[in-house]
């Protein structure tokens, strides 16, 4: 078994119904945060953490994602003919190399656990990462890179964690902690979307995971969990006690871009961080009394 995390899974088969009609003909993962689509932020984060192979678990109507991560010869020729060398260089700089990207169809919307299971043959017997593009994280050190440090030190499974209001536990997988060393919690248990009265803590798992390949054996059971779906949390929970399992409370701000308000907030936050947009945007917001 490889000891380094080289591969990442991006589950992108969802319908994006909360953003209709914008997502009727465009994948929700292609919605832009300032000038980059959500999925590109996730891929860039993975690449900065050392990921070399990018596996997209898609569904119908996701061809725009495949096109985005490929050359657009007409556009490149037009930019070159117009002398836009900086734009052309920027366009080519973030493209993965040939052979680094693979696509697999989920075919049925049966949950996150099922989406991850669909990529099992492309992962093989290696540790791997999972990134959910809806969970966009603004951080000085990319969230997955922070988690890689924990993986290198501790081995086993690592999930990104954050504190949430106690009344919101029913929206997340919740960690039962077995003690902490700094911001790294030993995971004693995982519960998918518990009611506040039943939640073991308010420490929630968000959309970044480093997992050992044994999770595929648990997903193979195809057990139906919360929401009538095959839950990744349930499969991970059965690995606790068999392998090291830690939750990393990451440094940074997470935005739920599957939610309209979270999506809008992310656009403001990322724009304000940019030298070319931040000062002017602050003036615009001031004009509105913000």
pLDDT digits (tens, 9 = 90+) for 54-101: 999 998 888 899 999 988 889 999 998 999 998 889 888 888 888 899
pLDDT band at residue 1 using 50, 70 and 90 as cut-offs: low
Alpha-carbon distance of 59 to 123, in angstroms, equals: 19
Count the neighbouring beta carbons within 10 Å of the beta carbon of residue 137.
Answer: 24
- Residue 266: both structure tokens together: 């992310």
Whole-angstrom Cα distance, residue 261 to residue 256?
Answer: 8
Going by CATH, does the domain composed of 7-258 fall within 3.90.550.10? yes
Q: Which residues contact 10 (CB under 8 A, 6 or more apart)?
A: 39, 42, 43, 46, 54, 55, 56, 57, 130, 131, 132, 133
* Residue 230 clears pLDDT 90, i.e. is over it: no
pLDDT for position 221: 83
Q: What is the pLDDT of residue 120?
A: 95
pLDDT grade for 222, boundaries at 50, 70 and 90: confident
CA 270 vs CA 162, 207, 251: distances in Å: 20, 19, 16
- Least trusted range by pLDDT, from 8-12, 14-18, 23-27, 115-119: 14-18
Contact 190, 206 (CB under 8 A): no
Mean pLDDT of the chain: 92
146-187 residue pLDDT tens: 999 999 999 999 999 999 999 999 888 899 998 888 899 999
Strand 101-105 vs strand 32-33: parallel, antiparallel, or unpaired?
unpaired
Q: Measured between alpha carbons, how far is 182 from 249 in angstroms, rounded to an integer?
A: 9
Cβ atoms 194, 174 nearer than 8 A:
yes
Query: What is the value of pTM for the model shown?
Result: 0.93
């Amino acid at each position: 078994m490889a000891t380094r995390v080289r591969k990442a899974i991006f589950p992108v088969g969802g319908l994006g119904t909360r953003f209709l009609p914008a997502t009727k003909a465009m994948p929700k993962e292609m919605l832009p945060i300032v000038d980059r689509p959500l999925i590109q932020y996730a891929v860039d984060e993975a690449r900065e953490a050392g990921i070399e192979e990018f596996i997209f678990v898609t569904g119908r109507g996701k061809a725009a994602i495949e096109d985005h991560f490929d050359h657009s010869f007409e556009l490149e020729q037009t930019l070159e003919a117009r002398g836009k060398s900086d734009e052309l260089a920027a366009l080519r700089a973030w493209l993965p190399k040939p052979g680094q990207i693979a696509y697999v169809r989920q075919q049925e919307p049966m949950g996150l656990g099922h989406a991850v299971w669909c990529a099992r043959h492309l992962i093989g017997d290696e540790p791997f990462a999972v990134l959910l593009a809806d969970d966009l994280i603004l951080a000085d050190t990319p969230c997955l890179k922070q988690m890689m440090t924990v993986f290198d030190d501790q081995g086993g499974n690592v999930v990104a964690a954050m504190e949430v209001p106690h009344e919101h536990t029913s929206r997340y997988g919740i960690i039962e902690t077995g003690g902490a060393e700094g911001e790294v919690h030993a995971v004693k248990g995982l519960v998918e979307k518990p009611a506040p009265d039943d939640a073991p803590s308010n420490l929630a798992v968000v959309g970044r995971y480093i997992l050992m390949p044994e999770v595929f054996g648990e997903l193979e059971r195809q057990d139906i969990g919360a929401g009538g779906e095959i839950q990744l949390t349930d499969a991970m929970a059965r690995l606790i006690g068999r392998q090291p399992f830690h939750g990393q409370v990451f440094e940074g701000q997470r935005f739920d871009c599957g939610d309209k308000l979270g999506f809008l907030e992310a656009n403001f936050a990322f724009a304000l961080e940019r030298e070319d947009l931040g000062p002017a945007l602050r003036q615009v917001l001031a004009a509105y009394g913000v």
